[in-house]
């Protein structure tokens, strides 16, 4: 019984120390939150460089000349400035001039490019719709080109509907580059499948082979008897 007052005093001191520590922790947390809010406030009011200074669309008389020549059914090609673009172009077995591609659809008099773009693990729909001036932007590309196929106008006119059907399916990017999947696509696979299905002929376009695996290379879309360059530009 004589030890109880001592134990009570120790417990009281321990509880008081814990209370002081808790107050200190809460104060520190409050200071961190305040600092984060002040930083966010400062960043929101910090002058930001205009987007155009980083990524600018293709414009000017020369650009209009090339862009105005595009027609529904054309294949748009570009070679990006980044390392990833060079890696993609390196997979081409015959010509490594271009790393990305898309299909042209003229809407209300202006050409838009439908193309498949994404990254590994990206679960967002991969089919994008960009204006030609943005797709070919010199700030992001070192080269651009357009290819036209010798197919009937009636077939080309049905391309927009098929593209919209693909978009409705909401495919994601195919990081495995597997031609056997329709719910996952990579850029050349998208173009290859739209064109061959419009033609109802899976052999209409050639395929490349690497390590016993078949895939659609960017060069396969223009190094074939049905395609001819309309123009090629280097920036």
Q: Hey, where are the domains in the chain? A: 1-48, 58-234
**CA pair distance 124, 169, nearest whole angstrom:** 12
User: What is the share, in percent, of the chain residues with pLDDT greater than 90?
Assistant: 68
pLDDT of residue 41 exceeding 50? no
* pLDDT number for residue 219: 98
* pLDDT number for residue 49: 43
pLDDT tens-place string over residues 102-112: 999 999 999 99
58-234 folds as endopeptidase fold (from Nostoc punctiforme) (3.90.1720)
If you average pLDDT over every residue of the chain, what do you get? Answer: 86
* pTM of the predicted model as reported, rounded to 2 decimal places: 0.76
97: confidence class by pLDDT, cuts 50, 70, 90? very high
Mean pLDDT, rounded, for 9-21: 67
Out of 4-8, 163-167, 174-178, the most confident range is 163-167
């Amino acid at each position: 019984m004589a030890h109880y007052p001592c134990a009570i005093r120790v417990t009281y001191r321990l509880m008081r120390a814990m209370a002081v520590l808790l107050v200190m922790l809460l104060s520190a947390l409050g200071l961190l939150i305040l600092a984060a809010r002040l930083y966010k406030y400062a960043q929101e009011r910090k002058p930001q460089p205009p987007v155009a200074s980083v990524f600018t669309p293709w414009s000017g008389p020369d650009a209009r000349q090339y862009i105005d020549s595009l027609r529904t059914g054309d294949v748009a090609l570009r070679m990006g400035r980044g390392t990833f673009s060079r890696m993609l172009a390196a997979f081409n077995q015959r010509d490594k001039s271009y790393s990305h591609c898309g299909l042209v659809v003229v809407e209300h008099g202006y050409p838009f490019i439908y193309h498949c773009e994404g990254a590994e693990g990206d679960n967002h729909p991969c089919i994008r719709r960009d204006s030609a001036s943005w797709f070919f932007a010199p700030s992001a590309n070192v080269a651009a080109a357009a290819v036209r196929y010798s197919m009937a106008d009636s077939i080309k006119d049905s391309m927009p509907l098929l593209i919209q059907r693909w978009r409705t399916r909401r495919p994601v990017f195919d990081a495995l580059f597997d031609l056997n999947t329709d719910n996952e696509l990579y850029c050349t696979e998208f173009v290859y499948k739209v064109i061959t299905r419009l033609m109802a002929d899976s052999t209409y376009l050639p395929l490349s082979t690497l390590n016993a695996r078949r895939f659609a290379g960017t060069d396969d879309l223009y190094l074939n008897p049905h395609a001819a360059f309309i123009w090629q530009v280097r920036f």
